A and B are shown apart, each in its own frame.
Chain A
Amino acid sequence: MGYLRPDGKAGARNFVGIIPTVTCANDVAQAICRQVQGTVVYLHHQGCCQMPPDLTRVTDTLISIGKSPNVGAVLLVSLGCEGTNHQRIYEELKKTGKPIEIIHIQELGGVSNSIQKGTDIARNLAIKISGLQREPVDIANVVMSIKCGASDATSGMASNCVIGYIADKIIDLGATIVFGETTEFIGGEHLLAKRAVNKTVGDKIIQKVNEMEARAKSIGCDMRKGQPTPGNIAGGLSSIEEKSLGAIVKSGTRPIQGVLEYPEYITTQKGLWIKDTPGREPEILTGMAATGAQFMLFSTGRGAPQGFPSMPVIKICGNPNTYERMKNDMDINAGRIITGAKTIEQVGEEVFKKMLRVLNGELTKNEAVQYFSAIDIHCLGPVI
C-alpha cells in the first residue's frame, strides 16, 4: 500500500516537506514546521559560499529530496541571495505535478513575516494532501535503502546478514535497493567489483573507492584516526578492511547494476545499486532519501538511534546486549542469531513482515520518538 505520486512511485508517508534552500533559512523553516501538523523540515548546513560543483550538488540534492515519494507537497524557504539555484529547484519540483510553493525571506521583510506567511502556506498544503488514501501497490515499486552504523563485531555476523537476506529476497520480487558508504568498501571493493553487471560498472566501483581513499590520504594522517570509529574499535573492529568486509554483507549476493552519484534520484532502474556516499549518518541518510527510498533498513551493533524526517528507519540490532539496553530504539533483535536462538532466515522473515507494516503506516521506533533532526548534504570541496 502507498500514496500514489504523479511519477508512478508510491509513498510510505505523506508529508509536506519544508526545504530550506540554504543554511540561513533553517530557523524560519523549522519555526514553520513546529506550527503545522503533517510537515517535516530538512535542516542542513550548505547552500552558500561553496564552489560551483558543490552548489550544483546541493541544488540537485534538494530537488531529489522534494521528489521523494514520501513527500506529498513542498514548501521551499529561500533567503533570496544564496548560492544554490532556488529558482531551478522550484521549476524542477513544479514538473513533478506535486503542489510546490516558495517564499523568500528577504522579499517578505524578514524572519517574522516569513514565519507567518510560510505557516499559512504550509497549513494549506497540509490540508490539501491530508485526504490522500493509501492504495495497493506491488512490491516491485519499493526502493529500499540500507545502511549500518555504530557497528561492532556482531554487525557483520548477524544484523548485516539479515539485511543481505532481505536484499536478495526483495530484488527477486522486482524491487530496487540502494546501498552506499563508499568509505566502508575500502578493503572489500574487489568483492563488489566482481559482482558488477559489467566491467564498466566494476571499474566505476574501484574508481569511487580510490577517490574516497585518496581524500582520506590527502590530509596526511593515518585514516585509523577516523575509521574505524572509536566505537567500532571498542566493539572489536580492528581495521577499515574488517569493518568493510562486515558492512558489504548487507548488500546480499545479487549483481550490482550501477553506481549513482550522491544527488541522484532513481527513476525506473531495478535491482541492486550503489550510491556514492560517506558512512556518516546525517549525510548518507540525506543521500538515500534523495534517491527516492521509501524507507531504510539500518543495522547496528552498539546502538545507533538515528533517523530521517521523511524516511522511516527500521533498526536491526545484531548485539544481544545492546538490544536489551536499547529496546526503545531498536525495532528488531538480531542478537538472537549470535546466541543461536534464531537463524538468519527466521529473523529475516520478521524484518520482512515489519517492513511491510512500516510501508503501510506502522511507525518505526525512531519515528515514534522523533529522533531525526541531524541531517546534512555531503559536499566535496571546501566551504569558502
Chain B
Amino acid sequence: MDLKLALKVNDKDNVATIFANDIKAHMQVDVHDKKGADVLLTVNSDIPYGHKIALQDINKGELIIKYGEEIGMASQAIKKGDYVHVHNLESMRGRGDLQAGEK
C-alpha cells in the first residue's frame, strides 16, 4: 500500500499537512511528527495535495495552530479528520473589511 503521508510540524499544532495525491473521504493517512511518531487518522472528505487536515475537534472561534503559531480562527466547528482551508479557517490580519464595519 502507498504511504499516505501527513506532516505535523510542531507539538502544539492542531492541523497537519497532507503530502499525498488523491486522498479521498474515509481513507486513512499516516500523520508523521518531528519526533518520528506516527498516528493513523481517517479523513472525512477529499483533501488535495498540500492541504490541511484537523488533528482534533476545533470549536468555532478557536485558533488554528501550525508551526506552533496561530494561522487563523475556525469560522465554523471543525471535526477531527476534517479538511481545513479557506472555507472554515479565517485570517484575522489585514482585514480592511472588518475595520470598515467597525466605523
CB pair B7–A216 under 8 Å, yes or no, is no
In the complex, chain B residues whose CB is within 8 Å of the CB of A245: 66-67, 69, 71
Q: Which of B62-79 contact A (CB under 8 A)?
A: 66-67, 69-72
Number of A-B contacts (CB under 8 A): 99
A321 at the interface (CB under 8 A from B): yes
Report if A157-B93 is in contact (Cβ < 8 Å); known contacts: A220-B99, A301-B50: no
In the complex, chain B residues whose CB is within 8 Å of the CB of A242: 66, 71-72
Chain B positions 82 through 103: 1 when the CB is less than 8 Å from some CB of chain A, otherwise 0: 0011100111111111111000
CB pair A219–B72 under 8 Å, yes or no, is no
CB-nearest residue of chain B relative to A320?
Answer: B19
CB pair A238–B72 under 8 Å, yes or no, is yes
Q: Which of A156, A219, A222, A235 contacts B67 (CB 8 A)?
A: A156
Report the minimal beta-carbon distance from B8 to chain A, rounded to whole angstroms: 11
CB pair B93–A236 under 8 Å, yes or no, is no
CB pair A241–B86 under 8 Å, yes or no, is no
Chain B interface size, as a band, is: 20 to 34
CB pair A224–B96 under 8 Å, yes or no, is no
A206 at the interface (CB under 8 A from B): no
A213 at the interface (CB under 8 A from B): yes
A217 at the interface (CB under 8 A from B): yes
Residue with the greatest number of chain B CB neighbours at <10 A, chosen from A227, A238, A241:
A238
CB pair B86–A236 under 8 Å, yes or no, is no
Report if A223-B95 is in contact (Cβ < 8 Å); known contacts: A152-B50, A321-B49: yes
In the complex, chain A residues whose CB is within 8 Å of the CB of B69: 187-188, 191, 241, 245
Report the minimal beta-carbon distance from A264 to chain B, rounded to whole angstroms: 25
A116 to B99, CA, bound (A): 55
In the complex, chain B residues whose CB is within 8 Å of the CB of A216: 94, 96
Chain A positions 225 through 250: 1 when the CB is less than 8 Å from some CB of chain B, otherwise 0: 00100000101101111100110000
CB pair A224–B91 under 8 Å, yes or no, is yes
Report if A241-B50 is in contact (Cβ < 8 Å); known contacts: A154-B19, A156-B67, A157-B17: no
A153 at the interface (CB under 8 A from B): yes
In the complex, chain B residues whose CB is within 8 Å of the CB of A238: 52, 71-72, 84-86, 89, 91
CB pair A153–B94 under 8 Å, yes or no, is no
Q: Which of B72, B85, B98 contacts A241 (CB 8 A)?
A: B72
A344 at the interface (CB under 8 A from B): no
Residue with the greatest number of chain B CB neighbours at <10 A, chosen from A153, A157, A216, A227:
A153
A219 to B50, CA, bound (A): 31
Report the minimal beta-carbon distance from B49 to chain A, rounded to whole angstroms: 7
CB pair A154–B50 under 8 Å, yes or no, is yes
Q: Which of A152, A156, A186, A301 contacts B94 (CB 8 A)?
A: A186
Report the minimal beta-carbon distance from A341 to chain B, rounded to whole angstroms: 13
A338 at the interface (CB under 8 A from B): yes
A191 to B10, CA, bound (A): 15
Report the minimal beta-carbon distance from B31 to chain A, rounded to whole angstroms: 14
Report the minimal beta-carbon distance from B38 to chain A, rounded to whole angstroms: 13
Report the minimal beta-carbon distance from B35 to chain A, rounded to whole angstroms: 15
Q: Which of B17-76 contact A (CB under 8 A)?
A: 17, 19, 21, 48-52, 66-67, 69-72
A39 at the interface (CB under 8 A from B): no
Report the minimal beta-carbon distance from B20 to chain A, rounded to whole angstroms: 10
Report the minimal beta-carbon distance from A175 to chain B, rounded to whole angstroms: 27
A70 to B84, CA, bound (A): 46
Q: Which of B70, B71, B96 contacts A217 (CB 8 A)?
A: B96
Residue with the greatest number of chain A CB neighbours at <10 A, chosen from B9, B92, B94:
B94
Q: Which of B86, B99, B100 contacts A224 (CB 8 A)?
A: B86
Q: Could you show 24 A-B contacts with beta carbons less than 8 Å apart? A: A153-B17, A153-B19, A153-B50, A157-B9, A216-B94, A218-B96, A219-B96, A220-B96, A223-B93, A224-B86, A224-B94, A235-B50, A236-B48, A238-B71, A238-B85, A238-B86, A239-B91, A240-B94, A241-B69, A242-B71, A242-B72, A245-B66, A246-B67, A321-B49
Please list the 4 inter-chain residue pairs (A to B) with the smallest Cβ-Cβ separation, ordered nearest first.
Answer: A223-B94, A236-B50, A153-B50, A239-B91
Known: A223-B94, A236-B48, A241-B70. 11 other contacts (CB 8 A): A153-B51, A216-B96, A217-B95, A220-B96, A222-B95, A233-B85, A238-B85, A239-B86, A241-B93, A242-B66, A242-B71
